[in-house]
A and B are shown apart, each in its own frame.
Chain A
Amino acid sequence: MVKRKFNPAFKSIFFLILACGFLMAPVRADDVIALKVGTLLKGNGEVLKDAIIIIKNGKIEFAGVNYPVPKGTNILEFKEGVATPGFIAANACLHISQETKEVSTYSREDFYEYRIEKIPALNEERSETTPEMNLLYSVDPRSEDFALAWRSGVTCVYLAPGNLNVYNGTGTVLKTWGQSPQNMTVRNMVQIKVTLGEEPAVGAEGSRFDPGLRTRRPQNRMGVDSIFRQALVDLQNKSELPDSQLNPQELLFRKVLQGEISLRIRAKSYVDIKSAFRYMEEFGFKWILEEGVDAYKYLDDLKNKNVPVIYGPVYRPKGRFDFNSENDFYRAQTPILLAKKGILFAFQNDAKSPISALRDEAIYAVKLGLDEESALKALTFHAAKILGVEDRIGTVEKGKDGDLLIFSGDPFSPSSRLEKVLINGKVMDPNK
């Protein structure tokens, strides 16, 4: 009797709690996303079938097979989908700012008709040695190129000041989606960007402090060479001074000599790569070869002194590039050689190839014979390694950022389509 009396109330309470539980469940787990994909390319070479990825608070909680997904988690399922880490442009040429200046250019197709084109004004021409420059605060997160980048699968880019000085400044590793540059930053003050060769000599108009000076020091490679060495030699002479007596520039250079910050040397032709090696022997810093179009000539040196290479664009039709090297075909092949050699390398775009074509560059390399695994690594894991942010991005592993791409098929087949993009666990549709 007592039972009977007691039961209904108890039952009702029980059901009520249960109902509450069901109601609460989605509320509790709304910051958790579970992805079920046909194939998962983790980026470090591993390939998993029917994988599950749990992302919690923008970080990857779990990536592998058969994991008990908590109740009420919103599950995204892609049966044939292939998931890869977000692509990283190890060096990106983007219009990321309204800080532009106008230059007159001509289109290739009808090339008597000049038109005004806006290029980013990110060269501080006050001096040839401006390593303390940093462009984080001249980035506009709403600029179109960012939207273009994440829509085409590039979730992270390396940005640095322009190329017209010898020491241009420190670079920044940014996510391509975010509210403000501050919260887009993965890491700031990454690598000092150095330009060797003709560019700083010919390209820049010259820093004009006093109106009398119309041209500036480097007129050719020799001038660039002296400016480059001067900065480091001066510091070597100050080696006994404590940090407190050095200005920010010199502090940066000291870090370079101590190996805390590595230089990223933009050396377009083999001459400049050679001199870069020479400087390395002289000062013993760490460096990275950027836009290494002639890297194929120094495979062994690059391998022995383990210098990473940032290479791109792979596709160089005749007459498009004005490089002082004899043969475009070897260039197209450089990635394959680097991979064969086991040299760390990553892809980049440049002013003439849009960031949305980064994947197509990799596909072209694959078409020429690069194996898909190292192509994917170059786009993700190795790029992160070169930038020194492999602890946060580059692979799909526990504890890393939830930057993922989901393709309808093989990412290296042009006919497979990018379905979803995740940045910091935020699911976005690139096809809208």
Chain B
Amino acid sequence: MRKTRLKIFLYPSLVIFLCAALFPGGEEKGEALLIKGAKIYTMGPKGVLLGASLLIEGGKIKKIIEGLDWPQAQVVDYSGKCIIPGLVDAHTYISGYYRLLENSQVVTSDLVALAAFDPLSPEVDEALAAGITTANLCPRNENLVGGITSILKLSKDPKGVFFLKKEGFLKISFAKDVERDDRAPTSLMGAKEMLDESLKNAGNQGDREEIFQEQGILKLAKGELQPLIAASNYEEINTALKWLSDWKKKGVIVGGEEVYRFIEELNKKEISILLSPFLFAFPDRIFEKASSLLKLGIKIAFVSDMPEGEASGLRTSALLLFHQEMPQEEALKTITLYPAQILGVESVVGSLEEGKDADFVVFSGEPLDLSSKILAVYSSGRLVSK
């Protein structure tokens, strides 16, 4: 019974992999595109460029020119506007909130989130409209081992589902949603024990089906995958850190407010954290603690948790952080460069440098100004939202 259900669940994912392989999106060879006249926040070494322009060819940034004109290129003039790299959302359930939960088991390590992605859903529009071009699609928190996350370039056309990493992280959850009355585990310690067991027994069973179901865990054991651990309150984060040190692994923690009680440990262990989006109505101390983390040099990144959260949550969080004595660039990095680095895709996205993807957002004014609106969003050189 369970196996069949699982098969049913697996086929679409395979199909979509094939689609992705056949029609690799964003690779269209065309004439060059020159983005001109804007103030460019390249989150890279070049810093902020005034009066520079981007030369885009084949979806990549070919060149960042100091001058303003370039022969044989279609010119788009954004003079007086601001440009930042496309936002990177490091933890989201976008377009598949109900498809991203497999209720039959607690440990479902073979599921790949990519299969649940639906390019036609309105949430994708929302995300693109808010400037999010890269998203890490994650299984939900209800399962102890939810499955494998996939890092996508968002785009609205069904054939062009294009992923940076098909298998990004292994989603593990110590959150309260795991501990339900109608199934094991019913407590946090039980969850940890169960996880340890499944990691120990990984690959011991002979049955091929079993082995296939455990592939995520196996990859984790081999070190091919890194864990992405959802833990909100003190005990959960403490358990997560203990688990990581037990298995000598580096990982990423998706944490809430209580993350700030572990600043020393995080600093030592070089564990980067993803923060749920800031809202207004948060007490000031939270913003202050977040900025203190950044000052320590710990990489933090804000996530949108769509559709639980909202797409503009990223920009709001950066805005509030900026309001709290953080320099604007640093605040912007928490939604562009740092998430890219945490996801390990900084070679492709996250900043505007030569050779990287041409993902960028054009603002009418300063990016973190209440009155400035998004004029255009480009994903790998193509205008995806206006």
Contacts and interface: CB of A to CB of B under 8 A. Distances in A.
Contacts of A134: 189
A137 B193 contact: no
B194 A126 contact: yes
B182 A211 contact: yes
Interface residues of A, number: 30
Given A126-B185, A135-B189, A98 B234 contact: yes
Interface in B181-228: 181-190, 192-194
Contact of A139 (B176, B182, B193, B235): B235
B233 interface: yes
Given A124-B189, A208-B183, A211-B182, A137 B233 contact: no
A174 interface: no
B190 to A, nearest CB: 4
A121 B176 CA distance: 11
B189 A123 contact: no
19 contacts: A97-B188, A97-B235, A98-B233, A98-B235, A99-B187, A99-B233, A122-B187, A124-B185, A125-B186, A126-B190, A130-B193, A132-B193, A137-B192, A137-B242, A138-B187, A142-B234, A205-B181, A208-B183, A208-B184
Contacts, number: 76
B312 interface: no
B102 to A, nearest CB: 15
Interface in B140-183: 176, 179, 181-183
A133 B192 CA distance: 9
Interface string A92-107: 0000011101000000
B238 interface: yes
A7 interface: no
Given A97-B235, A181-B238, A137 B189 contact: yes
Contacts of A98: 233-235
B182 A137 contact: no
B239 interface: yes
**Interface size band for B:** 20 to 34
Interface in A206-265: 207-209, 211
A52 B194 CA distance: 52
Contact of A124 (B187, B233, B261): B187
Contacts of A124: 184-187, 189-190, 193
A178 B188 CA distance: 22
Nearest to A162: B187
Contact of A137 (B183, B185, B186, B238): B238
Given A132-B193, A211-B182, A137 B187 contact: no
Interface string A138-169: 11101000000000000000000100000001
B174 to A, nearest CB: 10
Contact of A121 (B179, B193, B261): B179
A92 B333 CA distance: 48
Contacts of A99: 176, 179, 187-188, 233, 235
Given A125-B186, A132-B193, 14 more contacts: A98-B233, A99-B179, A99-B188, A124-B185, A124-B187, A126-B185, A133-B187, A137-B188, A137-B235, A137-B242, A140-B234, A161-B187, A207-B184, A209-B184
A123 B182 contact: no
Interface pairs A-B: 3 shortest CB-CB? A126-B184, A124-B190, A138-B235
A180 interface: yes
A124 to B, nearest CB: 4
A209 B239 CA distance: 24
Contacts of B183: 208-209, 211
Nearest to B242: A137
Nearest to A134: B189
Nearest to A133: B189
Given A98-B234, A138-B235, A180-B238, A161 B186 contact: no
Interface in B253-281: 261
A158 B194 CA distance: 25
A138 B186 CA distance: 13
A121 B187 contact: yes
Nearest to A143: B234
B186 A123 contact: yes
Given A124-B189, A208-B182, A138 B239 contact: yes
B185 A138 contact: no
A371 B323 CA distance: 65
A241 to B, nearest CB: 18
A388 B242 CA distance: 26
Contacts of B185: 124, 126
A126 B186 contact: yes
A169 B189 contact: yes
A126 B179 CA distance: 11
Q: Which of B182, B186, B192, B238 has the most chain A CB atoms closer than 10 A to its own CB?
A: B186
A138 B188 contact: yes
